[in-house]
Structure 1
């Protein structure tokens, strides 16, 4: 059994957090399975088609990038992606109630359990952002050009190649443009698919991240809240002494920061907290009637995530009580609004999908490196459903910035071939 280094990765939205370094073996049976699959006549033909349609893939990449898809407003891009799926050829096609665009490619076995592969439609940028793609030599520049629009184009290329090569799978395959992966989208696309759609999902492959070789088999959990503190408001001089929501909010931040720091500095797996945004007030000489903040907490362990959440809630309650009892006139009230809940989870490296993904990565000459991220696989992994997140390939940088860039410098579109090979290994190549 060959030994592959299990590293800690940092790509796109994958975070450099808390996986111990160790040797992970790729079992010989999976290496042989991948080698045999890659040498199959129809698979080799599909690889050639992927190479030959490189320019089409780039055109699709640019077309999709120039359709802005802000959080909760992915509809226009979804329509364009749906049309591409239809033209590439699927057996059925639909958009579900939350906006996921789903193409079904039927298998031959009639057995239950879908194999899903997705890229997310949404980007972090708000309405009005200029997403015109600028070409500078071999570099494409535009907000969202990498994360995760390139992966959507990869899916279309993979589907076209499967159809041109007349590849049939044993299991049904879902090819999905998902919604709500970024920020306050809170994985709503995946939550609907796995919690409400009623679909029997056998396994899931997400394309989201950087270069080939980097694999995520674990989900980094997070909980996010908006704390809103309210008071009567008034003039800074004429109503001096009136309960001030900003002052109460400051006390809440102070108490939470102290308690959370003590907790996260203890003997636990990595856990983090952050006050990311603060707002409220009308003018420098007005006592505000409202103050708010948004808080992000993350943890590898579900237990630690629950505990840091409990610390936050108790700190807020204590701060408000102490502030109202401090001698101010009147009182402030508060409301906690949960704005994000991503579960943690981790799959063993022995899971067949993980093994196949590592073996397929090695087949293309890259060294597999397992890690943890906050991606679409958080949902299936937290439920014990086999899932991996793989890179979209190429080189890029400036993710989540207006200066994002992408270069397709990967030879022969190997990341697309990788996605195809993993999908076929999991779904089964029908004879």
Structure 2
């Protein structure tokens, strides 16, 4: 039997028969259980879900095409332009690229009193010269960024196509968003812009699609602070200028002080907190005193308070290193500059919120065992602002995220997560019968 036809039959069977709503200890209330059951008996919704199954090969095709368009940090424009074309070809009221590079595709609602966003980030962690050719072996696709996050981008098109095929109308506006700057030094610049005063839309509910296991529903934002600590000096010859202030020596002292104090702090009772010296650089040659020494530091915590406290420990350690090293008898001195390179706020939303209850109910209905989790995703920003927000998985089976040999496998139930995105979006938007 053809795979798409089999999925279609299974999807209809699931919709008509329903499934158990209480799984893995996460239970939707009767109110939202009933709401989702009613939603999924709507004929237009059934048509949309069946379309997702029937167009699976097209979704894969879109995923491959988008993957093979490089989208390194701060250089997402080419992929964004193709994303705009895909939305236009599928059918959308309007689509544009905003001031920072986000793609926004508006599907107008009838009442237009609320705006619901379905998001997938455009960027990858890989530099521009990376080979992004997709290699296919059976149902497994391998290429940098394919699971994180071009699969998510292709899912947005699939959801839109399903809604258009079924001629579904909603009360609220739905904006499909491709965000820039989710990864690394991008520092969530795309979603930060959308929740700033400069944004052209006011967002009432936010749904992101990103990596992770199929059952993961993120309702907590893992906050982080990131810095580039830079020690500078005059520099000189390792023999002729011996004794001159050495930025490497000062940085080494700073790292030692920070690791000692931070280790004591994270060992204390409280929400999990972490720290990491991720990159170190500087210097010109083995026989030269460097004129600059730098380190990039990442600190994370589930608690906004603890994140601020370890941030304080880091700054104090680096400043102490500067002072004590300069007072150690060296010639001249070093100077310290702390450059912020990342700031993701923490926060957790109650599982009683309608958006989260709907997500649990939808996942359970589709036979996905829902697990509420905390993560570092685009949802951090709305969560910290107490705006209903979640991040759900792109489904299938991912592997080696952020590696050159990253993979995504199209498992038999992979389209369930596309259906999940569709149903949550419709439940939040309110369909017009």
TM-score, length-normalised on structure 2? 0.94
Return the offset for 1:24.
Answer: 4.2
Partner of 1:161: 162
1:266 to 265, 268, 272: 268
| Pairwise CA distance, 1:373 | 0.3
| Alignment RMSD | 1.2
> Contact 2:21–2:365 (CA<8 Å) still a contact in 1?
no
- Which residue number in structure 1 is paired with residue 231 of structure 2? 229
Name the counterpart of 1:193: 194
- Give 1:244 shift: 0.3
**Number of the residue aligned with 2:88:** 86
**1:357-415 deviations in whole A, cap 9, x for unaligned?**
00000001111100000000000000000001100011120110011111111337211
SS across alignment from 1:207: strand
The verdict on how the C-alpha distance between 1:125 and 1:412 changes in structure 2, with shifts beyond 3 A counting, is: closer
* Shift in Å, 1:334: 1.2
* SS in structure 2 of the partner of residue 243 of structure 1: coil
Question: Is the aligned partner of 1:45 residue 2:47?
Answer: yes
What is residue 373 of structure 1 aligned with on the other side?
375
Query: What's 2:176 paired with?
Result: 175
Q: Which residue of 1 aligns with 2:332?
A: 330
Contact 2:217 2:390 in 1 (8 A): yes
Q: 2:247 aligns with which of 245, 248, 252?
A: 245
Note if contact 1:51-1:412 (Cα within 8 Å) is conserved in structure 2: no
Q: Residues 211 and 318 (structure 1 numbering): CA distance in 2 closer, same or farther, change over 3 Å?
A: closer
Alignment pair present for 1:146 and 2:147: yes
Tell whether the 8 Å contact from 1:146 to 1:404 is kept in structure 2 after alignment: yes
* 2:217/2:392 contact within 8 Å kept: yes
On the 8 A contact 2:258/2:317 being kept in 1, the answer is yes
Q: Superposed, which structure 2 residues align to 1:7-406 within 5 Å?
A: 23-111=25-113, 113-195=114-196, 196-406=198-408
Shift of 1:209: 1.6
In the alignment, the residues of structure 1 paired with residue 50 and residue 26 of structure 2 have an alpha-carbon distance, to the nearest angstrom, of 32
Q: CA 1:211–1:180 in 2, change beyond 3 Å: closer, same or farther?
A: same
Does the 8 A contact of 2:223 with 2:380 survive in 1? Answer: yes
Corresponding residue for residue 15 of structure 2: none
Secondary structure of the corresponding residue to residue 204 of structure 2: strand
- Matching residue within 396, 419, 427 for 1:417: 419
Q: Tell me, which stretches of 5 or more residues in structure 1 are unaligned?
A: 6-22
Check whether the contact 2:21–2:361 (CA below 8 A) recurs between aligned residues. no
Runs of 4+ in 1 over 3 A off after TM superposition: 1-5
Q: Which residue of 2 aligns with 1:13?
A: none
On the 8 A contact 2:215/2:370 being kept in 1, the answer is yes
Q: TM-score, normalised on structure 1?
A: 0.94
Count of aligned pairs? 413
How many angstroms does 1:429 deviate by? 0.7
**C-alpha distance in 1, partners of 2:42/2:244?**
77
